[in-house]
Copies of this chain bind each other. A is one copy, B any other.
């Protein structure tokens, strides 16, 4: 049936293809930029190279993006969104508990980092120290990410019926967790290439984080 329908409306099909292409053109450019930024660095990549790899002309790049900076920002936003979604979905899978922190660590280190090393390179390296605007975006994304984790930490505390030392402890915990993730990703994945040890590393990272979190619960009287 569906096929028959398609056969009848040949033109729509074409225009649909056009539409799809149009929608994808921007993504093709982003993909090309992602790979090049991760491999050669943001500064070392020219618009022409991105255009070449995306098989479009330089002018086309400027139809979809305001300027080179805009490409990086859109890339960051995409990565930020995917990251938060990935972690958020994991947090929401079951009841929040200390195990959630463990699962999230596995999703990030054992999954996300291995699957998207270029995204990690861009998020943790190429988007740093480029310009005021990029830095602003970066800050915003990190704060959102931190805030997500802070919320989860708070709820875990509530679930466990425990209070934190200070009202702001969950924020600090979130900051620490993000820091641990970031540096592990850089250290073990970008610098060394110990993808194979990921499991052991993640396991211990989870232990480290759990220990840290536990230490910031107010002890019962």
Residues of chain A whose beta carbon lies under 8 Å from any beta carbon of chain B: 41-44, 125-132, 135, 139, 142-143, 146, 165-166, 168-169, 172-173, 175-176, 178-184, 186-188, 191, 197, 200-201, 204-205, 207-216
Q: Of B132, B176, B200, which contacts A180 at CB under 8 A?
A: B176
* SS class, residues of chain A in contact with chain B: helix
User: A204, B125: Cβ atoms under 8 Å?
Assistant: no
* B216 adjacent to A213 (CB under 8 Å): no
- By a CB distance below 8 angstroms, the chain B residues around A205 are 172, 176
Q: Which residues of B contact A169 (CB under 8 A)?
A: 204
Of the candidates A128, A131, A208, A216, the one having the most CB atoms from chain B within 10 angstroms of its own CB is A208
Known: A43-B130, A180-B180, A211-B212. A175 touches B200 (CB 8 A): no
Q: Quick one: which of A131, A200, A215 has the most chain B CB within 10 A? A: A215
Central interface residue in A42, A125, A204, by most chain B CB within 10 Å: A204
Contact yes or no, B191 A216, CB < 8 A: no
State whether B204 touches A211 (Cβ < 8 A).
no
Contact B216 A214 (CB under 8 A): no
A42 and B209 contacting across the interface, CB-CB below 8 Å: no
Contact of A176 among B143, B200, B208 (CB under 8 A): B208
Contact in complex: B201, A211 (CB < 8 Å): no
Find chain B residues with CB under 8 A from A211 CB. 210-216
